Structure 1
Amino acid sequence: MPDSGGVEQVDASPQEPRVQVFAVPPQEGASPSEIVEGFLEALTSDDPEFATARKYLTKEASERWEPKRSTTVLADGPNADSTRTRTDPDGSGYTYALTGRMIATVDDEHAYRSEQGKYSSLVHLVRQNGDGNGDGDSGGDGGEWRIDVPPSGVVLAQADFERLYLPVSKYFYASPSSSDGGYAQSSPAMVADPVYIRKRIDPVTQAVRALLDGPTNWLDNVVDSRFPSGIALKKGTKSLAPDDQNRLKVPLNERADAVKPDRCAKMAAQLFFTLRDLPAAGIEQVELQRANGTKLCALDSDQAEASAPNRALSGADYQYFIDDKHRLVRMPKNGDEVEPAPGPLGSGERQLRSAAVSRAEDRAAGVSNDGRSLYVGSLLSDERLEKTKVRSEAKQEKDRLTKPSWDGRGDLWVADRDPRDQRLLWLAQGGGKPVEVKVVGLDDARINAVRVSADGVRVALIVERDGRTELKIGRVERQGTSEDPEVSVVELRPGAPQMEEVTAMSWAGGSRLVVVGKEAGGVQQLQYVQSDGSVVQDAALPALTGVTDIAASEDERLPLVARSEEDGIVRLPPGASWRPVVKDGTSPVYPG
């Protein structure tokens, strides 16, 4: 402890990490291999602008290198491959090959994308006088070794990426082109757009800037931002942090000055939901300011929920499943009492094999026990059960209709697995003529399960091809009119690329899913994944044997519900272990 000296006040805002790791600059006389190793190590530091990593480069290479343009994530490596190291013919330089097994990239939009395959990049070094960033002639035996051809962007091992980067969901509104066509609800859904930012380098400011930059390319066609085009933080704004009352003030440029109050509330809601889940941020109110510093609008938690009424549908009063009498039954979200669901689907009038409940919990859809027909009925009255126009003609039961799924606008989805006529079907408001959905890139793969996100602009599919089942996430695009709607699923991307076999899945948040499957040569496991295919860290799930189906709510406070071959219907309350509910039961579902 110091026993003398003055006292200096420091900023102790909760967003600042307790420990930051900074790299070591190159040592005098370092060998080419030490320079390469030092540069790679510097990439794993908490240096905001990679200033130390640039010291390993020549001046010209430092000016060209763009570390924020991309991040490559490797399962093993990056390794300097000694078998591919060579000296230039005139002895003036060295070439190293960096290798590894690539699993993902993060682009300049902060968007994560699974990229499986081999990674290889050449790194070239020359001798340069001075400290490597000054002038001087290269060549000869004098001077220090520096990299004049670095790898593109940043290259990291998976463990370093997980330590340094933080998943954040930016929030936007479903655009009219993705949610109307004459048959959408008046209040647009909020859509989570997952990105990765650097964990220890002012994550609040990074998240705000990422939101103002707009949606990622994958979602750009189906979402809108209420922030005007060209809007940004006020010039000179370096860092944002909440005050001692957890209020965050966000100064904007002149593009925000004329924004109307209603639009400002929508903007603030986007910002509030984007920042709400940041660890240790604890933000309870956001205030948007004009360029002159005056208040444009402010929003707290309750007001943010009111500005996004569709988010209220993410909760659930009950969990549902099919009992041993093939009826739809339910149990309270915090209780174990099982009772028949109200209405015709719970009466036993029609035996069921699977079901789905609308997010408003006012209607349910059920697939007949033989898998051929789809029915829709009320959960509020005993009105007559409606048989939809969906029918499977497959010869075998396993090839007929999948479990249905409702989106947040009240539309119903189901897949027919008939090998002679494989189809994904969509029913506006759960009825009428079924529309065949065009799934781009599906080719001859079969859809074994379909779950639509609450916002209705993304769909999760378990697809089977050549005996392998995998999870795909697609973007939903809607066109046409209410009389002639057109629905398509485009740009399928891997949802759980680390798994060789996926058995079941369910949406478990705005951009998160829970998945049951196996990695190559492994045993069955339960795992949370982001909708971009990345694995959610620090969210381990207890093991459960023989899981055939699983259901989750967008409300993380509610328990998971699963069907196990050994234990029947079981529940997993937060922070607890799996608890049996009933031995005989199938097809657990939450609303959705």
Structure 2
Amino acid sequence: MPTSGDIKSVDPSQRADSQVKVYAVAPRAGAEPSEIVDGFLEAMTSDDLQFATARKYLTGPAAKTWDPAAETTVLTDGPTKLPDRANDRGGLDGFTFKLGGTQVAVVDKQHAYRPHTGSYQGNIHLVLQNTPDGKEWRIDSPPKGLLLGQSDFGRNYQSVNKYYFASLPASGSTGSSRQDWLVADPVYVRQRIDPESRMDTVTQTVASLLSGPTNWLKPVVGSRFPTGTALKEGTKSLAFDDRNALKVPLNAKASNIGQEQCRKMAAQLLFTLRDVTVSKVAQVELERSDGSQLCVLSADQAEEFSPDRASGTATSAYFIDAKGHLERLPGSTGSAAGAEDSTESDSTSESVPGPLGAGSKTLGAVAVARDEQRAAAVTNAGSLLYVASITSEGQLDGPLVTSQGRTPENRLSAPSWDGLGDLWVADRDLARPRLLRFTGGSGAPQAVDVSGLNGARIESLRMSADGVRIALLVSEGGRTTLKVGRVERQGSGDGATVTVSELTDAAPQMAEVTAMSWAGRSRLVVVGKETGGVQQVRYMQTDGSVSVATIPGANRVTAVAAADDSRLPLVALSQGDGIVRLPPGANWKTVVDKGASPVYPG
């Protein structure tokens, strides 16, 4: 216990400990309007089932119609209140308060988190209501849903990934026969029993998966669960047995599906539950409404549908050396499975075979295909894009595209490969800015329409392994921000039409973003700074929320790379320190004194 120091008041909404449980307190007899509002706002933060105590602060009709699950408005701190007698609509028997705060996000009824920065303003109205103890102040016009400060939101909710199958053309952009891979769809669920549904966290997550993908991702993914499939009526808790296997009882909508479809349904569940449980889920068994078995799928069998299969099992990082040639850091951790055993001995780089490793061209930026057979490189001047083998010797073919921009900053961005084998690059020519895609990494470029740019320019890009999302650094008005867009495909092969839709803010807290990279299925690693702040490297979820994982600070980072496998180290370019690496649980260490464009495959 401290024996000295000043006494400081503490805002009751500032709770960082996720193990803290808040118990709501019912209104006391004779409470003034201000006390009623405070009690109601505090009761919103509790785990009280059905928010029964919070409803005691409401009038009878309001208690019946108030829907806490309608949405959750997240503020930087708990909401503030000010009396607003000028707008009272109940005369002497009415009392109005203005609610205010700085809004961060809204979590909708689908549990989807959407950044929504700016000021929050609302009203809350009270009336005198007859009770057995006489007239008492009660709220007859509560806010929509819940109002929570960030600390209470973080204490009550956790981010989990639901998984759905990518909706891709019949043969894929490159004629690939494999179409069944899963895409992460991040949502937020209660960390304990949900007050409204009374479901535990596992059951909430399963129910959310069955309800379908969020509206933003829905156009490019699909569920293998038949429409209307839900948990068997009355299911509030799903428990793992001593083998860490889970039985999931479904309603009659799923009773007549075939075995192959059932396996894919089970795969969606297995990958979804991995974010909820501490130990690995060994097996999922789906049951019909009568209790009979539909199918069983083990964790090993589900790997057939892994979101990371598009990236193979690459463990190597790459960079451009001081001479402008492509080099490889072999086995940055020895192997993905043995990532925890990383040693310093794997830091020696080697030139890749072929014209990019020892050719006459001086490279400025590079992207290695996810199968590590080819690489795409932009010349140091930024005007030419080449693709060449990195496994065998050969001559460099002609460039795929030439930018007419007047300076390197106004020419080609660093390229990026998606999980379908298509190559993407942005031409930053001020006279003709374009986002370009090369089917299979060759042939003529296809211009990709990006809705929502509104005159802003793409500075850099990174494609996700699943091929249905793209991360963009976009500049406008001297400011560079991070956006994530949805990649929509119609048709296949060279005749496919591809567009990018619904750009969303992926780092709304940052005033300026310098660099970014995909760092898993629904996470990005971002380099940037907040208004008036210093540079920081942090993880962000694709929905714009901040990941709980932290990253040690690094000096003047201008580029960063992460692998789909979170056990592989981050690699970055630090001005003054060169190419640096951050193994899990360690600090940044220099790998190469001079270099550029650190990347993992993709």
- TM-score, normalised by the number of residues in structure 1: 0.92
In the alignment, structure 2 segments of 5+ residues that lack a partner are 1-17, 194-199, 334-345
| CA deviation string 1:503-552 (max 9, x = no partner) | 00000010000000010000000110000111112x11111111000000
**1: CA distance, partners of 2:513 / 2:20:** 39
Letter in 2 for 1:325: K
**2: CA distance, partners of 1:252 / 1:497:** 39
Counterpart in the other structure of 1:169: 161
Is it true that 1:245 corresponds to 2:256 in the alignment? no
Counterpart in the other structure of 2:596: 586
Counterpart in the other structure of 1:311: 309
Counterpart in the other structure of 1:518: 529
Let me know the Cα RMSD of the aligned residues.
Answer: 1.9
| CA deviation string 1:123-179 (max 9, x = no partner) | 1111212279xxxxxxxxx42211110001101111111111100110001113598
- Tell me whether 433-442 or 298-307 shows the greater mean CA deviation: 298-307
- Tell me whether 191-200 or 81-90 shows the greater mean CA deviation: 81-90
**1: CA distance, partners of 2:265 / 2:235:** 19
Counterpart in the other structure of 1:336: 347
- Give the Å deviation of 1:449: 0.6
Is it true that 1:285 corresponds to 2:283 in the alignment? yes
Letter in 1 for 2:473: I
Letter in 1 for 2:178: S
On the 8 A contact 2:281/2:299 being kept in 1, the answer is no
SS at match of 1:129: strand
Counterpart in the other structure of 1:566: 576
On the 8 A contact 1:180/1:478 being kept in 2, the answer is no
- Give the Å deviation of 1:283: 2.5
Counterpart in the other structure of 2:340: none
Is it true that 1:346 corresponds to 2:353 in the alignment? no
Counterpart in the other structure of 2:264: 266
- Tell me whether 17-26 or 219-228 shows the greater mean CA deviation: 17-26
Counterpart in the other structure of 1:14: none
- Give the Å deviation of 1:360: 1.2
**1: CA distance, partners of 2:431 / 2:140:** 58
SS at match of 2:576: coil
- Give the Å deviation of 1:376: 0.7
SS at match of 2:347: coil
Over 3 Å counting, the alpha-carbon distance change for 1:19 and 1:294 in structure 2 is farther
Counterpart in the other structure of 1:463: 474
Letter in 2 for 1:548: T
Counterpart in the other structure of 2:110: 109
Over 3 Å counting, the alpha-carbon distance change for 1:403 and 1:252 in structure 2 is same
Counterpart in the other structure of 2:232: 234
SS at match of 2:538: strand
| CA deviation string 1:185-237 (max 9, x = no partner) | 43233111011111122110010000000000001111010111110101121
**2: CA distance, partners of 1:215 / 1:327:** 43
Counterpart in the other structure of 2:395: 384
Letter in 2 for 1:365: A
On the 8 A contact 2:166/2:179 being kept in 1, the answer is no
**2: CA distance, partners of 1:240 / 1:469:** 45
**2: CA distance, partners of 1:220 / 1:210:** 14
Is it true that 1:324 corresponds to 2:322 in the alignment? yes
Counterpart in the other structure of 1:11: none
Is it true that 1:68 corresponds to 2:69 in the alignment? yes
- Give the Å deviation of 1:362: 1.4
On the 8 A contact 2:164/2:185 being kept in 1, the answer is yes
**2: CA distance, partners of 1:309 / 1:570:** 28
Letter in 1 for 2:476: R
On the 8 A contact 1:284/1:301 being kept in 2, the answer is yes
- Tell me whether 187-196 or 379-388 shows the greater mean CA deviation: 379-388
2:426 aligns with one of 415, 418, 423: 415
**1: CA distance, partners of 2:313 / 2:99:** 48
2:385 aligns with one of 346, 349, 374: 374
| CA deviation string 1:96-143 (max 9, x = no partner) | 1111111100000000111111111111111212279xxxxxxxxx42
Counterpart in the other structure of 1:532: 543
**2: CA distance, partners of 1:18 / 1:280:** 16
On the 8 A contact 2:172/2:179 being kept in 1, the answer is no
Over 3 Å counting, the alpha-carbon distance change for 1:18 and 1:160 in structure 2 is closer
Over 3 Å counting, the alpha-carbon distance change for 1:159 and 1:244 in structure 2 is same
Over 3 Å counting, the alpha-carbon distance change for 1:581 and 1:50 in structure 2 is same
- Give the Å deviation of 1:28: 1.6
SS at match of 2:564: coil
On the 8 A contact 1:177/1:477 being kept in 2, the answer is no
Counterpart in the other structure of 1:220: 218
On the 8 A contact 1:457/1:477 being kept in 2, the answer is yes
Letter in 1 for 2:545: S
Is it true that 1:487 corresponds to 2:498 in the alignment? yes
**How many pairs were matched up?**
566
Letter in 2 for 1:574: P
Over 3 Å counting, the alpha-carbon distance change for 1:131 and 1:437 in structure 2 is farther
- Runs ≥4 residues deviating over 4 A: 83-89, 181-185
SS at match of 1:24: coil
**1: CA distance, partners of 2:75 / 2:27:** 24
Letter in 2 for 1:154: L
Q: Equivalent residues in 2 for 1:9-20 (5 A)?
A: 20=21
On the 8 A contact 1:178/1:477 being kept in 2, the answer is no
Counterpart in the other structure of 2:38: 37
**1: CA distance, partners of 2:280 / 2:591:** 36
- TM-score, normalised by the number of residues in structure 2: 0.91
**1: CA distance, partners of 2:515 / 2:289:** 50
**1: CA distance, partners of 2:132 / 2:457:** 60
- Give the Å deviation of 1:483: 3.6
SS at match of 2:303: helix
On the 8 A contact 1:264/1:296 being kept in 2, the answer is yes
Letter in 2 for 1:211: L
On the 8 A contact 2:112/2:214 being kept in 1, the answer is yes
Letter in 1 for 2:584: P
Q: Equivalent residues in 2 for 1:168-187 (5 A)?
A: 168-176=160-168, 180=172, 183=175, 185-187=177-179
- Give the Å deviation of 1:306: 2.1
- Give the Å deviation of 1:43: 0.7
Over 3 Å counting, the alpha-carbon distance change for 1:382 and 1:290 in structure 2 is same
**1: CA distance, partners of 2:171 / 2:572:** 31
Over 3 Å counting, the alpha-carbon distance change for 1:386 and 1:278 in structure 2 is farther
Counterpart in the other structure of 2:415: 404
**2: CA distance, partners of 1:450 / 1:228:** 36
- Give the Å deviation of 1:485: 2.3
SS at match of 2:400: strand
SS at match of 1:346: helix
On the 8 A contact 2:368/2:600 being kept in 1, the answer is yes
On the 8 A contact 2:171/2:492 being kept in 1, the answer is no
**2: CA distance, partners of 1:198 / 1:309:** 25
